[in-house]
Amino acid sequence: MTENTEKRGFQTEVKQLLNLLANSLYSNKEVFLRELISNASDAIDKLRFAAVQDQSVYGDDSNLHIRLSADKEKKTLTISDNGIGMTRDQICEHLGTIAKSGTADFFKNLSGDQAKDSQLIGQFGVGFYSAFIVADKVTVVSRAAGVAPDQAVCWESDGTGEYTVSTVTKADRGTDVILSLKEDDKEYLEDWTLRNAVTKYSDHISVPVEMLETVKPEKKDDDKEEDKSEDNAEEKAEDKKEETAEYTEWKQINEAKALWTRSAKDITDDEYKEFYKHISHDWDDPLTWAHNHVEGAQEYTSLLYVPKHAPWDLFNREQKHGLKLYVQRVFIMDDAEQFMPGYLRFVKGVLDSNDLPLNVSREILQDSKLTSKLKSGCTKKALQMIGKMAKDENQDNYKTFWKEYGSVMKEGLVEDYDNREEIFDLMRYASTHNDNSEQNVSLQDYISRMPEKQKNIYFLTASTYAAAASSPYLETFKKKGIEVLLMTERVDEWVMNQVTEYKEKKFVSVTASDLDLGDLEDKEEKEKQENQTKENEDFLKKVKEALGEQVTDVKVTNRLTDTPSCVIGQGNQMMTAQMRRILEASGQTLPDEKYTLEINLDHDLVKHLAAETDENRFKDWAQLILDEAILADQGALKEPARYVKLVNSLLLNK
Ligand code: ADP
Ligand code: MG
């Protein structure tokens, strides 16, 4: 330690993360290489970007590269880059804290179950700290661009609670990350292990990755064809110089061509998957991807991916999302959210535009016409990519997709009017056609099963599948054999209030007060209902009087068979119980709901009520029939105690 050495503690979250890394994540060890190479490549991207404004940042070192070297004696593996580097302040900020928003929430989400946590942490991206998976000491020596050689900084930690920083001398610009490997992880000193891993993680990045190679000079007689190629001209010259001694030199081992700039037909699935992991830090393969070069009015390349798992903070407003933006191959920014609508915020990938200016900023992007054109292009590409999965004969991927993102996709029906039709095609719902809660019925399926007479698409929103499936509103539909879509997510009701039709078929809620079955209505039934109403005018009036203010009307219904009664909200802009709960939970005060009570005259309970002569008991029975209907509809009563008392007294016949 020198005089200028300073000891500092890690931020609490970093300590938690390091603990987790040291104790659990053995199955995915290799990710440390991906993360460190990824950081080195980011640092070089940042230097290139800075050079767009000011060429002088390159100094006399414009040959950008990442280098890996292993020292078997010292048992160290070093990853070096000559990128942007870090100052003393930056190193403390970047390698002592976690800047990601919602970090605290993330840690709350950890379960202690290793398998699950490892999944989560993969999504979170452990970045630099993954070095401690294989190293018991990590030393980072960095010299930022434009900083004097004797003002470089050395950061060191054993990955427990603290780290030290000191000022040191470093000849070249950039960063060396030196890993002192754990006893069990010596394999990362082996040339072939490294080569394998590095090619896997770096073939698609645009920076050359180099490793030292031992060159054995060959005798002239052995000279083969390949030595005649231009690439080897230099080597050949050197060969001649040192014909006897072995020597080492840096050799590029990756392709070093940004993946998305290559032609799709030359890229393997594995390369696409690795590139996804590079940009997303996910440990899992992506669900699907789409790679498009677009020419014409705008020229751009997009490479979009759908992750297999929704991010843990998908519904957090501050969640970082968006594409990695490049302009003419130069990296501009991460998380450019301007190119994807909100409902596609889970899409990851790269957008490389030829038309945006190199000095583009978030502010400029915000209100540029070009941005909205690119957004519309990328949105279409993303929807096509998802649509392809939806049409796939093997539905496994789409099932996963729908489970992870279905409720977010529904937001698109309201958010993205232009693409509403395409988004509707992607919807999957539970339905009375099935006897389980699986959301696997598309609107096309539904329409294909509609009897000729049926003009509308019928749906029911409820708070759970069980409540929906046993809803009394379905009785008449069951009797007539008409399919009803069962929608049980919070977002459904909001969406269904805003959309009116699909392919010229109107959406009709089965709980609508003016439920019109059109041609599906049975003439006989309708007549029966009218007759019953006429015949029971006095009875209906009496029930209404008994219930007083609680109801706006009491009617005879033919939508029920096994249930005595149901309640209907007011008007066509009816609010279901579900919506009411959402609004109330958000702090709005709503006027008491008044209901129209519909009763089924064929039901024994209603017959019993009609036969009741005692005025008080008539009131009680009427109240019971109303309460039951409200309970079935809302899943709760305002005064449950009163209801229990009422039931008890009726049961005991008091
Ligand atoms: P992320 O890369 O997602 O930001 P990391 O934990 O991998 O998270 O790295 C944290 C930060 O440390 C980076 O954002 C960067 O600012 C800095 N950093 C890490 N490695 C390097 C490097 N080789 N050169 C320059 N800066 C680096
Ligand atoms: Mg990183």
CA distances for 534 relative to 513, 517, 538, 609, angstroms: 20, 22, 9, 18
CB of residue 176 inside a 6 A radius of ligand 1: no
Average pLDDT over residues 421-427: 97
Question: Both tokens of residue 153?
Answer: 């900084």
User: 580 or 420: which carries more pLDDT confidence?
Assistant: 420
Shortest-distance atom of ligand 1 to CA 126: 6
Q: Which atom in ligand 1 lies closest to the alpha carbon of residue 40?
A: 23
Give the architecture-level CATH label for domain 2-212.
2-Layer Sandwich (3.30)
What the block records as the tokens of 128 is: 């630099």
Answer for the pair 182, 134: CB distance below 8 angstroms, yes or no.
yes
| Ion ligand 2: protein residues whose beta carbon lies under 5 Å | 39, 127
Say how many Å lie between the CA of residue 487 and the centre of ligand 2: 41
- Structure confidence by residue, pLDDT tens digits, 173-191: 999 999 999 999 999 999 9
H-helix segments, 170-314: 191-202, 233-241, 269-280
When pLDDT is averaged across residues 616-629 and rounded to a whole number, the result is: 93
Specify whether the CB–CB gap between 353 and 299 falls below 8 A: yes
Give residue for tokens 């709005």: 588
In DSSP notation, 458-506 reads EEEE-SSHHHHHT-GGGHHHHHHT---EEE-SHHHHHHHTT--EETTEE
Which residues have CB under 8 Å from 410's CB, separation 6+? 343, 427, 489, 491, 492, 495
| Nearest protein Cα to ligand 1, atom 1 | 127
Cβ-based neighbour number of residue 148 at 10 Å: 9
User: In percent, how much of the chain has pLDDT > 70?
Assistant: 89
CA 38 to ligand 1 centroid distance, Å:
9
- Give the Cα separation of 28 and 451 in Å (integer): 54
Question: How far apart, in whole angstroms, are the C-alpha atoms of residue 626 and residue 543?
Answer: 10
What are 312-360's pLDDT values in tens digits?
888 877 788 899 999 998 889 989 999 999 999 999 999 999 999 888 8
* pLDDT number for residue 179: 98
pTM of the predicted structure, to 2 decimals: 0.79
Amino acid, single-letter form, for residue 402? W
More confident residue, 449 or 528: 449
Class of CATH domain 523-651? mainly alpha
Q: Encode burial over 359-369: b for 16+ CB neighbours within 10 A, e otherwise.
A: ebeeeebeeee
Rama region for 112: left / alpha / beta (φ>0; ψ in -120 to 50; rest): left
Among the bound ligands, name the one nearest to the CA of residue 46: 1
- Residues with Cβ within 8 Å of 192's Cβ and at least 6 positions away in sequence, in order, are none
User: Cβ neighbours of residue 433 under 8 Å, at least 6 residues apart?
Assistant: 441, 445, 446, 449, 483
Q: State mean pLDDT over 72-97.
A: 95
CATH 3.40.30.10 correct for 259-391:
no
Q: What is the CATH number of domain 435-520?
A: 3.40.50.11260
Q: How far is the CA of 398 from the centre of ligand 2 (A)?
A: 30
Topology alike, domains 435-520 and 523-651: no
Q: How far is the CA of 575 from the centre of ligand 1 (A)?
A: 50
Question: What does the alpha-carbon distance between residue 335 and residue 338 come to, in Å, rounded to a whole number?
Answer: 9
Task: Answer whether 47's CB lies under 8 Å from 64's CB.
Answer: yes
pLDDT on residue 291 = 98
What integer is the mean pLDDT of 10-36?
79
| Residues of the chain by 3-state class (helix, strand, coil), percent to 5 | 45, 20, 35
The mean pLDDT value of the chain amounts to 88
Question: Is the CB of 86 within 6 Å of ligand 1?
Answer: yes
Q: At what angle do helices 31-53 and 191-202 cross, to 10 degrees?
A: 50
Q: Are 85 and 147 in contact (CB under 8 A)?
A: yes
Confidence (pLDDT) at 220: 59
Buried b vs exposed e over 4-19: b needs ≥16 C-beta within 10 Å? eeeeeebeeebebbbe
Closest ligand by atom to 100 CA: 1
Q: Which two tokens stand for residue 622?
A: 């009427």
Min mean pLDDT across 150-154, 165-169, 233-237, 496-500 is at 233-237
When pLDDT is averaged across residues 405-426 and rounded to a whole number, the result is 96
- The domain ranges of the chain are 2-212, 259-391, 435-520, 523-651
The answer to whether residue 579 scores a pLDDT higher than 50 is yes
Tokens of 558: 């033919």
